[in-house]
Amino acid sequence: MSILSFAVFLWLAAEMPFEPTANFVDQKVEGWTIRIHRRLLDEKKELGDKVLDLLRVKLHDIKRAVPKAAVEKLQAVVIWVEADNPRVKCMCYHPSREWLAGHGFNPEKAKGVEIGNPKTFLDWSGFQPSMVLHELAHAYHHQVLGYDNPDIKAAFKKAVESKSYESVLYGDGSRKRAYALNNDQEYFAELTEAFFGTNDFYPFVRAEVKVHDPLMFDTLKKLWGKD
C-alpha cells in the first residue's frame, strides 16, 4: 500500500461512524464484564451465544491458571464484542483513548479488549487457543506493569540478541520468525500464552519456555506472581 493510499484509508476510517456504547449490553461472565452488541443477542443470537460460550470457557481457564491477585486485575478489563467491526481483523487491546478518537473508534473502548469480528474469533481460536489470554496480557502489561517495565525489556533484549526466536516451529508445522520478536509487548503477551496456556509457536507450553528462554520464564513468574 502506498503512503497516499494508507493516508486515504486512515481518513476514511476516521470518518466512519462507530457503534455507540448504547448499542451494547453488559453481561457478567466468570467475573469479567462482557459488553456485547445488541445484534448478537437478537438477530445474530446464534453467533452471539457461541461467542459467549467460548469466552466462558477461555475465561474460566484463565481463572484456573493465573494467580488470583493477577486475575482480579484482569477482570477489571472490559471485553467488547462487536457484531462486526471491519476495522478489527479479529481481537485486539486498545491502550489509547486519543488513538481511538482520532481513528473513528468509540473512545470508551480505551483500556479494553475488543472482539471486532466474532466469527473470526471463533475460527481462529482453534489454532490460537490462548488468544483471549494474549489480549488480556497486553492490558496487564499496560495497566499494571507499565510499558517501560525493565524486566520485560531486559528479557526481550536478550531474546533478540540470542537469535533463538529467528526460526521456530509453528503449530502448522512450518518454521518462521516468531511473532514475539515484533516488540517487547508482543513478546510478553506471546510468552504469557505459553506460560499459562498453549501458544501457537515454540515455545508452546511452560516447560518449553523454561528450557528455551529461562530468563523470561523467571520474569513471568515474578511479574504474574506465580509460585
Q: What is the pLDDT of residue 86?
A: 84
Domain boundary among 86, 118, 141: 141
In this predicted model, what pLDDT tens digit does every residue of 95-143 receive, in sequence order? 999 999 998 999 999 999 999 999 999 999 999 999 999 999 999 999 9
Q: Are both 114 and 212 inside the same structural domain?
A: no
Which stretches within 94-197 are classed as H helix? 97-102, 118-124, 131-140, 150-162, 184-196
Q: Are both 21 and 97 inside the same structural domain?
A: yes
Q: What is the pLDDT of residue 227?
A: 76
Q: Are both 109 and 159 inside the same structural domain?
A: no
Per the model's pLDDT, the better-predicted residue between 122 and 87 turns out to be 122
Q: What is the pLDDT of residue 39?
A: 97
Cα separation, 91 vs 122, in Å, equals 11
Q: Are both 58 and 110 inside the same structural domain?
A: yes
Check if the beta carbon of residue 180 is closer than 8 Å to that of residue 192.
no
**Residue 10: pLDDT band with limits 50, 70, 90:** very low
Q: Are both 64 and 121 inside the same structural domain?
A: yes
Per the model's pLDDT, the better-predicted residue between 12 and 23 turns out to be 23
In this predicted model, what pLDDT tens digit does every residue of 18-35 receive, in sequence order? 889 999 999 999 999 999
Mean pLDDT of 48-64: 98
Q: Given the DSSP bridges, would you call strands 168-169 and 175-176 parallel, antiparallel or unpaired?
A: antiparallel
Number of domains in the chain: 2
Domain boundary among 88, 110, 141: 141
Domain boundary among 124, 141, 158: 141
Q: Are both 34 and 127 inside the same structural domain?
A: yes
Q: Are both 94 and 63 inside the same structural domain?
A: yes
Q: Are both 28 and 112 inside the same structural domain?
A: yes
Q: Are both 126 and 177 inside the same structural domain?
A: no
Q: What is the pLDDT of residue 5?
A: 45
Mean pLDDT of 149-169: 99
Check if the beta carbon of residue 107 is closer than 8 Å to that of residue 21.
no
Residue 114 three-state SS: strand
Q: What is the pLDDT of residue 15?
A: 55
C-alpha cell recorded at residue 165: 526466536
Cα separation, 15 vs 37, in Å, equals 21
Per-residue pLDDT for 69 more than 60? yes
**Residue 4: pLDDT band with limits 50, 70, 90:** very low
Cα Dmax for the chain? 52
User: What is the residue range of 32's domain?
Assistant: 3-141
Instruction: Supply φ then ψ for residue 105, to 5 degrees.
Output: -100, 160
Q: Are both 62 and 155 inside the same structural domain?
A: no
Check if the beta carbon of residue 92 is closer than 8 Å to that of residue 116.
yes
Q: Are both 112 and 216 inside the same structural domain?
A: no
Q: Are both 136 and 155 inside the same structural domain?
A: no
